[in-house]
Chain A
Amino acid sequence: MTTTIIKPKKTWSLGDFREIWNYRELLYFFTWRDLKVRYKQTFIGVLWAILQPFITMIVFTVFFGKLAQMPSDGVPYPIFVYVGLLFWQFFSSALSETSNILISNQAIITKVYFPRLILPLSSVLTKFVDFTIASLILVGMMFYYGYMPHIIGLLILPLLLLITFMVAVGGGLCLASVNVKYRDVRYALPFFIQILLFLTPVIYPASIAGKYSWALALNPMTGVIQTARAALLGTTPTNWLLLGISFAACFMILIIGVVYFKKVERYFADIL
């Protein structure tokens, strides 16, 4: 028989992670709900997940690729920017969704107990499904432009996804917790994300920053996008140092996010 002990201050333990594991079905249902509802609400449904990055890619190709003659490490600009966009949109949409997740689910949070971490996790998972759908376009483009990823490249992709996942969760957790207390944060967030787009080598190659490109690497998404291009398109040899820095940075962000979230999580129901 399970025993529950409720105390004013709970020190956290491995039990917390086991609890999340016990609630994995709820995680599944939340993700399933979000996907189902979104694809029911928008007229074009699933297509939306493909159209969004696709149209952005076309716009960027026209303006940055053709008109501004942005360098693209020697690969056709559309496929260059699409790889960047794919990861970027996964990250940015997961981040903004996660930061709002507690507020949009406040009715549930104040009425039922479950490990609160489930909610941010589910929103990132939802975005991951979008990512998977949108990557079908990439597969098509790679055929069209005649690129074959090498085996190591394919093996490295899960790692890249893991990093993106961790950054999105970590950053999202921080923002979500802050957002509960200070509700004006969400108005600033879209602006913040837009700025971040230009600080990440999505529309340009990291090499553009020359010897300062290490600074860009502090942004974990830099390492992710650069490595993805290297792996899929063979633009540059995989920069392990860059990837290492990104991995370390994403780990930091995740730890800060989880610690902060766990610290304030028990009081969400009081504040909301």
Chain B
Amino acid sequence: MRIEAIGCEPLQLRRVHLENSRSLDVYRKNGGYEALKKVLDGMSPDDVISEVKKSALRGRGGAGFPTGMKWSFVPKDSPKAKYVVCNADESEPGTFKDRYLMERDPHMLIEGMLIAAYALSSKLTYIYTRGEYRYLIDIMDVAIEEARAAGLVGNNILGSNFSCEVHTHTGAGAYICGEETALLSSLEGMRGHPRMKPPFPAVSGLYASPTVVNNVETLTAVPDIIRMGGEAYQKLGTEKSGGTKLWSVSGHVNLPGVYELPMGYDDMEKFIMEDCQGIPNGKKLKAVIPGGSSVYIMRADQIFGKDVRMDYEGLVAAGSSVGSGGFIVMDETVDIFESTKNLTEFYKHESCGWCTPCREGTDWLVKVFKRIANGDGRPEDAQLMLDLCDNIEGKSFCPLGDAAAWPIQSAIKRFPEDFRKHLSNGNN
């Protein structure tokens, strides 16, 4: 597996190949905690938020919401404690970038959290990590203790008036806890059910207090934004999609891995065929799911010769989205009916059961998929599945329902032949 920057100098990945990259010593020798020092030496919380706004950094967890704007929603005059929570519940199928950031460069995350906490006047922060990533929680705990011993975490950080705690927290196997309000329910010791918005977490989040929840990749971008300035960071990418982005590449490519690309990288065909060295065993590309399992699947002919720019706007124009950057490549041997069935089983398993459209809808969809797979497909089943999706999409309590519907809708529309094949086999 390859971990490499393409088309730009490595930014978030610039320390990952150093020896002992996870130690405080190596981190500090390579620019670590300088941004925190810069912040404490003379930036106000508003200055920090303003730099992050200028950077055009958008949430890297999947939704792509502008980070600076999210931070500015936290009410400054609230007398309540404020919380910063890192979403390290990386569970979107096809996504594994946060894992390597935490494994190889844990202090970058701690520094990002401290800067965010300073900007939001938070004294208590949590890293909510998926339970399966136990070894990363251990790595983060060691790094936090190292930072504490060096006066970087705890009271009067670097001799300033700023005090802040960073704690790790474990999930226990629930995809839904990647949704920020479900994550907060879980962090409060409840079942991971999402909550009604509004109020948004910025106003009423953890313990009903103002809270910002950001993805690992988002928070680890913050030290560089402060170090180089928001504008310079933005210019690495495009006007609306600042900076660089990590792509987790898996499936049928010769060089899977974590790739850091500048936002707006041109283009997707070159990325697959040259940077990832194409499809193994001389096979042809059939489909790509570019942003984690929840985004629209793309046909090869939507990519080849189409100059698909790899950023938020470019991917929407090409008929999909950036999502989490979980880039799943499928060759001609993959049956898109089968791959969509696999993902639908995932969503059914992970539906939290809180709302009816998602709980019943995903269950019903899996039943239909299984019946078709058993040879009992009916010609009208494609329409039945689309109707079921229509009753989930936009009608579920949280975005998991939409995420379950989109892969099916796009697969039926873009690969009708793969579905037709199964439906005409039925014993009608």
A binds B: no
Binding site for A on B (CB under 8 A): none
Interface residues of chain A, those whose CB is within 8 Å of chain B, are none
